[in-house]
Structure 1
Amino acid sequence: MNGQALVADRTRDTVRQAIERLGAAPGTRSRTPARPGAGRTPARPGAVFVRCPYLLTDYFGIIVSSIAETLDLHGRQLILNAGGAAKDSRVLADLPDRPEIAGALLILPTEEGEELEALRARDFPFVVVDPRTPVPRDIAAVSASHFTGARNVAAHLVALGHRRIGLINGPGDWLASSSRFAGHASALAEVGVLVSPELVSSIEPTSDWGYSAAGRLLDLPDRPTALATFNDKAAVGALRAAHERGLRVPEDLSITGFDDVYLSSSTVPMLTTVRQPLEELGRMAVSLLTRLMEGHTVEALHVELATELVVRGSTGPAPAG
């Protein structure tokens, strides 16, 4: 039923005839592979369930808006499950049994890998957007290149002469956090610098947490000359901590963000940051899901989109001494 090439046509036809005669088992849906020249009518009619268990501000709002616009172009309706209260809801297990839902997009899902694997085992089409934890190889996922983005921003700071760089990272159990730490450490290793544990903080990616983490790092006896933060909101908090200590940015301290949301060009000075293709994340996720819902074989199940370093006024040469 999944269109595997190793199955003989006669066997496939026999199985299909049996399913038509006996009826599909409860909770299952047959999926007919698309044939060359076949129409674009989706094999699975229905809406797309979009789960984003976070407030739809800047980062998540951009992704969800892009998904909504792209689904509209495909003639699909959207059922949204979002907000902080959605974190504790357990809705995935019931999705295959809801006939009005054809597939799902899960943004930074809080569910464990076992729950995702159970959903995949029921042949329900879904795509994970920006995975929180490593995703099994047979589950479709779209993310940005966190490793490369963090490596590029650290290499930029290293080229400016910075060696003592504080890293205000995201939650320790997020895949993005570990990937960015690896990219950060890689750039420093190229100039013979090991990351000092005292210069690393793992926080919730908010402005207040960024402010607190930056304050701790800037109060060290040997303070860092630069701070690389998990996102632009954390960078805004770091700017506030630097201002309260009388530090000039970038003359005394360089600060970088990540994401390139509207905040990055609203600060003084404007933030050097890493641009994530947030709208393209949404479009690519819909494209992958559409192919799955139409029964196409998808070979590139894990897609990483390129990031871009955007240099602005918050970074400069390391201060002398």
Structure 2
Amino acid sequence: MSNVFENSFQTSYADPMSPRATIHDVAAAAGVSVATVSKAVNGRYGISAATTARVLDVVQQLGYESSLVASSMRSRRTSVIGILVADFEPFSAEILKGVGVALQDSGYDLLAYSGSRQRETNGWERRSLSRLSGTLIDGAIMVTPTVDTTSTEIPVVAIDPHTGRADLPTVESDSFGGALQATRYLIELGHRRIGFLGGRPDLRSATLREAGYRQALADAGIAFNPALVRVGLYKRDTAKAPAASLLSMTDRPTAVFAANDLSAIAIIQVAAELGLEVPGDVSVIGFDDIPEASQMNPALTTIRQPMKRLGATAAGMLVSLLNGDTLPQNHIRLPTGLVRRATTGPPRP
């Protein structure tokens, strides 16, 4: 069943257990016609300020909210922006926060959608957009979409698309530069045997982070060793087995760069289970800087990508498109930066 969370116009006055108020209930309580209620709710001319105030007061008391579908049929606009995510996990949650803040004064509400019945297949975003566009949302933000183009009539902006830059306007972080910085930092600490726990091979961000790792090794004159590379798929549960494989090697790495924080946390948990100290026996660095990274013990050294800013930037681009403006840039890449914490240190002699 689809998961839908909507921030729409409603009040806390209504009893949640009572039947939903209708426009006829409002008209009867205010002593006016249904047409007058419609004019008051939609801010139209033709009624006095006193009547408008009385109707809106009843609207608050009864908790009445007009149907988005009915409104869109009348005006062809819903004033709602949709955000499509495959999963509600830390990365997408931080993006949602950024979108929400950016839309506060925009006049648009936010609807977050995850098509759980179909998201395991490529192109699920297209099918979801066809269901939502026109009647529920005016435009959409897609997070790590599997498609690089859409044929919907509504404006769409993509965050961190699978294939990189697309026909759609896109926003992404500098995955290559962040990975380069992470690996160089480990090299500066004195590490030479550095493992890599990669992300999802189908995501461009994952391939760029591995490319940055390899480039840093090459720049330092360290030969790339495929035996030190594993795939963690960006999730904590799927990262544990490959992390255990790395840390159980006879000649294990003295440091591991994980392609995201969830994978890095999995490495730290596995190290504890194996009786290894972090960073004494193995240094660990992640990528993202999710809230949990700074709350761990020890706190996680990581590459910070501006997740909230990704969301806010995408929201700003989409609102501009909805207003009929031309974007100064169709593709935006935001910088990343190293956050030094307690899970990294020099290798033991």
How far 1:256 sits from its partner (Å)? 0.8
In structure 2, the partner of 1:264 is 293
State the distance in 2 between where 1:70 and 1:299 align.
Answer: 18
Secondary structure of the equivalent of 2:104? helix
State the distance in 1 between where 2:246 and 2:258 align.
Answer: 12
Q: Is the 8 A contact 1:214 1:238 kept in 2?
A: yes
- Change in CA separation of 1:294 and 1:210 when aligned onto 2, cut-off 3 Å: same
- Within a 5 Å distance, the mapping from 1:270-289 to structure 2 comes to 270-289=299-318
Q: Is the 8 A contact 1:44 1:294 kept in 2?
A: no
How far 1:95 sits from its partner (Å)? 5.0
How far 1:288 sits from its partner (Å)? 0.7
Match of residue 163, structure 2, among 104, 126, 133? 133
Calculate the TM-score normalised by the size of structure 2: 0.72
How far 1:209 sits from its partner (Å)? 2.3
Secondary structure of the equivalent of 1:79? strand
How far 1:132 sits from its partner (Å)? 2.0
Match of residue 104, structure 2, among 37, 62, 72? 72
Secondary structure of the equivalent of 2:346? coil
Secondary structure of the equivalent of 1:75? coil
Moved more, 311-320 or 66-75: 66-75
1:58 aligns with 2:90: yes
State the distance in 2 between where 1:298 and 1:44 align.
Answer: 21
Q: Is the 8 A contact 1:53 1:86 kept in 2?
A: no
State the distance in 2 between where 1:271 and 1:126 align.
Answer: 35
In structure 2, the partner of 1:30 is none
Instruction: Point out which structure has higher relative CO (alpha carbons under 8 A, 6+ apart).
Output: 1
State the distance in 2 between where 1:99 and 1:242 align.
Answer: 51
Moved more, 140-149 or 77-86: 77-86
Q: Is the 8 A contact 2:83 2:112 kept in 1?
A: yes
In structure 2, the partner of 1:91 is 128
Q: Is the 8 A contact 1:235 1:257 kept in 2?
A: yes
In structure 2, the partner of 1:82 is 114
- Change in CA separation of 1:251 and 1:83 when aligned onto 2, cut-off 3 Å: farther
State the distance in 2 between where 1:78 and 1:281 align.
Answer: 16
How far 1:44 sits from its partner (Å)? 6.5
Structure 1 unaligned segments of length 5 or more: list them. 1-42
Moved more, 222-231 or 203-212: 203-212
State the distance in 2 between where 1:50 and 1:84 align.
Answer: 14
Provide, for residues 129-166 of structure 1, a one-character-per-residue CA deviation record: whole Å limited to 9, x for no partner. Answer: 12122232x42011111111111110000101111111
In structure 2, the partner of 1:107 is 143
State the distance in 2 between where 1:276 and 1:264 align.
Answer: 13
In structure 2, the partner of 1:14 is none
State the distance in 2 between where 1:303 and 1:44 align.
Answer: 28
How far 1:311 sits from its partner (Å)? 0.6
In structure 2, the partner of 1:47 is 80
Q: Which amino acid aligns with 1:65?
A: K
State the distance in 2 between where 1:149 and 1:202 align.
Answer: 18
Provide, for residues 252-279 of structure 1, a one-character-per-residue CA deviation record: whole Å limited to 9, x for no partner. Answer: 1101111111221222221110111111
State the distance in 2 between where 1:209 and 1:53 align.
Answer: 17
1:308 aligns with 2:337: yes
Q: Is the 8 A contact 1:53 1:85 kept in 2?
A: no
- Change in CA separation of 1:86 and 1:60 when aligned onto 2, cut-off 3 Å: farther
Structure 2 unaligned segments of length 5 or more: list them. 1-75
Secondary structure of the equivalent of 1:255? strand
How far 1:68 sits from its partner (Å)? 2.1
1:248 aligns with 2:261: no
How far 1:217 sits from its partner (Å)? 0.8
State the distance in 1 between where 2:193 and 2:175 align.
Answer: 21
Q: Which amino acid aligns with 2:160?
A: D
State the distance in 2 between where 1:211 and 1:170 align.
Answer: 13
**Equivalent pairs, count:** 269
Q: Percent identity?
A: 34
How far 1:83 sits from its partner (Å)? 6.4
RMSD over aligned CA atoms reads: 2.0
